Structure formats: C-alpha cells, structure tokens
Amino acid sequence: MSILWSRARRRQQLLLQPFPPQWDGMLRQHVRHFQYLDARQRSRLEGFVQVLVAEKDWAGGGGGFTVTEEMKVTIAGYAGVMTLGLPEPYYFDRLKTIIVYPTAYLPHRSQFDIYPQYVPLAPRSGEAWHRGPVILSWAEIVEPAKRRPGSNLVIHEFAHHVDGLDGDVDGTPPINDREKGRNWYRVTEEEFERLARETARGDVTLLDQYGATNRAEFFAVASECFFERPHAMRDRHPELYQALADFYCQDISGWLPDAPTVGCDSTPSP
C-alpha cells in the first residue's frame, strides 16, 4: 500500500508541473493525432507523457545509442493516444523498460534460449516481450519513407504488451465483460480468417497482411489501423471497428481523419 501511495503522490507532483513548451513542439511535429485533440484530451495526453517519460527506464540499443528527450516524448505521445478513452489514466504500469534502436536491428541470440532458431535472423523494427521490455526502431517511427499508410510501430508493439496483460499474447486482450468477450472472439476470428484468405489470394487489403501471420499479430495490426485509418476501417470492417472502439473506449473516427494514403492499401510487412 505504501508503494502505491508513494507512486500516486509522485505522479500528482509530476502532473502539477507545467508541460514543457519544447515537448509541445515535439508532439506537434511527430504525433499526428495531437493536432486534432480537444482541450481535455490534450491535457490528459500531456499528463500521460510527463509520467511515462519520468517513470520508465529508457535504454538505447545498439551499443552507446542515446535515447533523446524527443524520442521519449514521441513514443509516449503515441502510446498515450491509446489510453485517452479509458475511464481513468493508465500508464502501462507493468511495462518497466523501453529500448530504442536508431534503425532496424538484429535480435540477440542466447545460449539459454529454450527454442533456438536455426534460420538466419532478419532485421526487426520492434518487439514486445511478454513481461519484458518494448523495443522500437526510431527510424521506423519518424522517417516517412519507412512508414506504410495506416501503420504505427508504437501502437503495434504497445498493443502486443496490452495483449499479454492477461498472461497470453494470443490476440485476445483482457476483457472483463463475458458478453463482450464472446463478441470479441466471434468478430476477430471471422476477420482474421478473412484476412488470411485475402492474403492467400493476393488481394489488396486495408489491414496489413502481416496480421494474417497469427492472431497476436492480427490484434496488433488491427489496432494500428483503428488508430491510423479509423474511417476506412469503420466503412470496410464495421464490426471489427466497433469491437476495437469498445475495447479502447473511444470512437477515433469521431475526431481523427484517416492517415494519408499512397497507392494500394496494404502490402505484406517483411
């Protein structure tokens, strides 16, 4: 109890501090959603950023890479957008460490791996370990050439973290209401199978076809699309959109326009 009281007091003190003007500029430059927030949403997001920047253990990957204030604010900003509809502020308390690489990176192998891989390792842009850190490539977050329409690496990896809060990273995040849980399973199973069929046929899809890999990736990809292309998802996948709106407790299409698109909707992720 004393630990929780101390944390609450520390957060209260953080939230009483003025939001740094330079952080406002960073959010406007890098977090597309920020410009569309109303005053209440903006205040809540700013508070979230203050807490996440202060509380998380931010580590640079790749040997000597320094995580800058700009990186922390940008990543926290996107993660905070995911929480804006929740009844109470949520700060991803089970997440202790966020590791940032300058670009795509090779995952580490260990002699203690239970299931060692015998295929060549491919560069990754991000990971979310069960009960472990979230790992992100900075270039994939901010460089326009790296991003696909509707993609968002921060939201993708934080969705994996949320997925694992109930113990399993399986595409079904914690849902306390039994009826909503049954509806979630029905809708997401139908949509996952639909994406798998369309991907196998080579169809153009709104959802990133990497979501057909497994149900955990489907949830992460669907979350990206929900927060980046809400109008397109609402029009083309209305039940999936509503299931995600119920889970994240917010109707993104009510205040955010779709991210700009170029060319076809989706091609498979590497």
Q: CATH for 148-270, among 3.40.640.10, 3.40.390.10, 3.40.718.10, 3.40.630.10?
A: 3.40.390.10
| Domain ranges, ordered by start, for the chain | 2-106+123-146, 148-270
Q: How confident is the model at residue 255 (pLDDT cuts 50, 70, 90)?
A: very high
Question: Using one digit for the tens of pLDDT, what is the confidence trace for 242-252?
Answer: 999 999 999 99
- The number of angstroms, rounded, from the C-alpha of 143 to the middle of its chain's C-alpha atoms is 17
Label residue 212 exposed, middle or buried (CB < 10 Å: 0-12, 13-18, 19+): buried
Task: Give 229's contacts (C-beta < 8 A, 6+ positions apart).
Answer: 149, 150, 206, 258, 259, 261
Question: Using one digit for the tens of pLDDT, what is the confidence trace for 101-133?
Answer: 999 888 765 433 344 444 456 778 899 877 789
State the virtual CA torsion across 98, 225, 227, 144 in degrees, nearest 10.
Answer: 70
Q: How confident is the model at residue 149 (pLDDT cuts 50, 70, 90)?
A: confident
Domain topology for 2-106+123-146: Cyclin A; domain 1 (1.10.472)
Q: Where would I find the beta strands (DSSP E) of the chain? A: 57-60, 97-101, 126-128, 134-137
Q: How many CB atoms lie within 10 A of CB 5?
A: 9
Question: Using one digit for the tens of pLDDT, what is the confidence trace for 82-104?
Answer: 999 999 999 999 999 999 999 98
Task: Say if residue 145's pLDDT is above 90.
Answer: no
